[in-house]
Amino acid sequence: MTELQQIRSPVQSLPPDDFFWLIKRIGADDALAVLQKASTEQWQYLLDLEIWAKDVLDAQKTMAWIDRLRRADAARLAAWAFEEQSVLVSLALLRKTEIIFKEEEDEWDVPPGYFTLDGSFYIKTRDSSEAQLVEDFLRVLAGTDYSSYRALLLQLASVSPAETEEELY
């Protein structure tokens, strides 16, 4: 057993509901070390309880939790987002951002307030107070796996928010 596995096993051995209550007791923003040691199954349970208001996804809470998970373990968050949570990430991005795709040969002025990480996708948050949070998250995704990052943003055009939300719930 590696040292990291030994460190993680006490947290990961908690049942998901106990893990949830531990995070609530510590406080979400003070629990980054515990979130880092948690399993993705515990993350999922936590998000299932925290980001839904009845049967509607709360995009603001979703992005806040994504940011906490990013600060706790950015590489694992990116892998988890691409492998298991692309639908959730897509829905949150659709709710919180406007994304414009610009082909290389297109010549046009980018509207104010948009940023780009690659010169193709221009992103603007609907709430300027969340701009840095969204940009930091997208930087982690792009830095971890650029092809998956592009694929995620490209597929946003085909996502139906209502159907996706129902599927996730």
Q: Please, what sign has the CA dihedral across residues 69, 72, 78, 81?
A: negative
Give the pLDDT confidence score for residue 1 in this predicted structure: 47
Binned average pLDDT, 10 residues per bin, the chain of 169 residues: 56 94 95 95 95 87 95 96 90 89 75 89 92 95 95 79 59
3-state percent helix, strand, coil for the chain, nearest multiple of 5:
70, 10, 20
Which residues, 6 or more positions from 104, have their beta carbon under 8 angstroms from its beta carbon?
119, 120
Give the pLDDT confidence score for residue 162 in this predicted structure: 58
Asked if 147 and 77 count as a contact pair (C-beta separation under 8 A), the reply is no
Instruction: Give kind and range of the element (H or E) at residue 125.
Output: strand 121-125
- The whole-model pTM stands at 0.82
Give the pLDDT confidence score for residue 6 in this predicted structure: 52
Give the pLDDT confidence score for residue 10 in this predicted structure: 87
